[in-house]
Amino acid sequence: MKRKIIITAALSGATTRKEHNPAVPYTPREFAEEAAKAYKAGAAMVHVHSRLDDGMATHEVDRIRETYDAIKDKTPELIVNLSSAVGPNKTPQQRIEQIVKIKPEMASLNTNTMNFATIDRKTGEVLVDYIFDNTFTMLQDFGRAMEENGVRPEIEVYDMGGLDNVKLIMKQGFFKDPMNFNFVFGVAGGQAFRADAFAALVHALPPNANFTSCGVAWDEFPAILQSGIMGGHMRVGLEDNVRIPSGELAKGSYELVEWAVKAASILGKEPATPDEARKIMGLRGAS
């Protein structure tokens, strides 16, 4: 029997636009269609930054709810993981309000304040540049609010310092087991993918924790392969990377999911269904 691996499709992010790949969804209908394709390809979960019709990331609760509902109406089986980052320069209240009102099964929880940028990989030119604010107080308050509202945190780790921050805060006791981590590689401001850094993160995890990994641009496929090798799960999608390994534009997040399924198969693993993923991650919808 093949071992199960959870594949997540991150459909849009806050800054990836149709100019980068025409398949990036903006409208609730586009999100629903892309999520359905990702599910059919093998994804158990989708990660969502809701957008306005012009492509701008939004914190507006009604728009986020509309996007969330459109995905669940079309593909009720899917786990929908909402972002508590939302987009650049949002207040803490704007970031957490939609989580506690909509109450998805899972939401991202970021772990440290850091530079966060889009940089031209060929020239080094800075295109987008801001400080991603995640104080200890926010980590504490967001984490507690999620747990109290039945939303399981997906804890986003950009470097070892972020993981150590969580290990300090978790002493308060509000995080439930199993804790679920996502290692993010390749963000300009975070750490690039390195196999030894990945191994160090895995070895520093709290007991019984699950982990997933994602990588920006060319870090995507090395990161998910390393994750699979070390017993973790995989995240792909247009938020992180708009191209398949050949360098061609992906037809959608679903095509990147198809590549993740191939990678998992090489490792003797197969995609978890959403219900299997719920059991692994301890989500409230687990049966």
Asked whether residue 170 is assigned to any structural domain, the reply reads yes
Check which CATH number belongs to the domain holding 108 and give it: 3.20.20.70
Tell me what pLDDT residue 158 has. 97
SS (H, E, C) the chain: CCEEECEEEECCCCCCCCCCCCCCCCCHHHHHHHHHHHHHHCCCEEEECCECCCCCECCCHHHHHHHHHHHHHHCCCCEEEECCCCCCCCCHHHHHHHHHHHCCCEEEEECCCEEEEEECCCCCCEEEEEEECCCHHHHHHHHHHHHHCCCEEEEEECCHHHHHHHHHHHHHCCCCCCCEEEEEECCECECCCCHHHHHHHHHHCCCCCEEEEEECHHHHHHHHHHHHHCCCEEEECCCCCCECCCCCECCCHHHHHHHHHHHHHHCCEEECCHHHHHHHHCCCCCC
Between CA 6 and CA 260 the distance in angstroms is 10
The pLDDT tens digits for 227-248 are 999 999 999 999 999 999 999 9
In this prediction, residue 261 has a pLDDT band, given cuts at 50, 70 and 90, of very high
- Residue 274 resides in a domain: yes
Condensed to tens digits (0 to 9), the pLDDT of residues 121-144 reads: 788 888 788 899 999 999 999 999
Query: What pLDDT is recorded for position 124?
Result: 84
For residue 261, what are the CA distances in angstroms to 30, 54, 257, 280?
Answer: 23, 32, 6, 18
More confident residue, 1 or 21: 21
Residue 287 lies in a domain: no
Domain that holds residue 192: 4-281
Position 286 in a domain:
no
Q: Structural domain tally of the chain?
A: 1
Residue among 282, 278, 279 at smallest CA distance from 76: 278
**Could you tell me if residue 160 is inside a domain?**
yes
Whole-number pLDDT of residue 118? 80
pLDDT given for residue 272 in this prediction? 98
Which pLDDT belongs to residue 285? 73
Average predicted confidence (pLDDT) for the chain: 96
Q: With left for phi above 0 and alpha for psi between -120 and 50, is residue 51 left, alpha or beta?
A: beta
Residue 93 pLDDT: 96
Give the pLDDT confidence score for residue 1 in this predicted structure: 60
Per residue in 150-186, pLDDT (tens digit) is 999 999 999 999 999 999 999 999 999 999 999 999 9
- pLDDT attached to residue 145: 98
Contacts 24+ apart (CB under 8 A), 38-42: 38/9, 38/11, 38/237, 38/252, 38/253, 38/254, 38/257, 39/75, 39/77, 39/78, 39/274, 40/254, 41/9, 41/254, 41/255, 41/257, 41/258, 41/261, 42/7, 42/257, 42/258, 42/260, 42/261, 42/271
How confident is the model at residue 78, as a pLDDT? 98
Mean pLDDT value across residues 265-282: 97
The pairing of beta strand 126-132 with beta strand 114-119: antiparallel
pTM for the whole thing?
Answer: 0.96
Predicted confidence at residue 287, as pLDDT, reads 60
